[in-house]
Amino acid sequence: MSVKIGDTAPDFTLSSQSGDMVSLHDLLGRKAVVLFFYPKDGTPGCTMESCAFRDSYEDFKDAGAEVVGISSDGVASHQEFAGRHNLPFLLLSDEGGKIRSLYGVSATLGVFPGRVTYLIGKDGVVRNIFSSQLDIQRHVDESLKILRDGG
């Protein structure tokens, strides 16, 4: 299955960096959700992407959205990564990659976990999907633009 623009985002429940269980449906309704799948805590590209979301976090909040990152790293890794980089948003642990598969996030070159951002409206409908392993800043810029344009 691959999630497409216009689809209802599949619900899930995962552990956050604090160990709390977080469900997508608990975040929706009041806010849009910018859900970004990234390969691995602490790698250069993932650190740049997470810090770019951090640096624009207030802009996302002002636009009515919550930012959520997902990788297959465990809770302890997320806790350390979020603490080291002062990440103000949730990092969810998808050990085993079930949610990555549910959304249809494919591997880059068949090896590296994909880097894909989903903009989900507060009604739960996917408004935008951006996939790029290398154009890291555009994950943030494109999501913010669509939110500001009423998406």
Contact 89, 108 (CB under 8 A): no
Judge residue 145's burial from the number of C-beta atoms within 10 Å of its C-beta, 0-12 exposed, 13-18 middle, 19 or more buried: middle
Q: What are the Cα distances from residue 34, in Å, to 37, 66, 109, 122?
A: 10, 6, 25, 10
Helix axes 136-148, 44-55, angle to 10 degrees: 30
Q: Which residues are catalytic?
A: 46
Query: Which amino acid, 55?
Result: D
Task: For 94, list phi and psi in degrees, rounded to 5.
Answer: -110, 60
Contact 28, 65 (CB under 8 A): no
Contacts of 92 (CB under 8 A, 6+ apart): 14, 15, 16, 22, 68, 69, 70, 78, 99
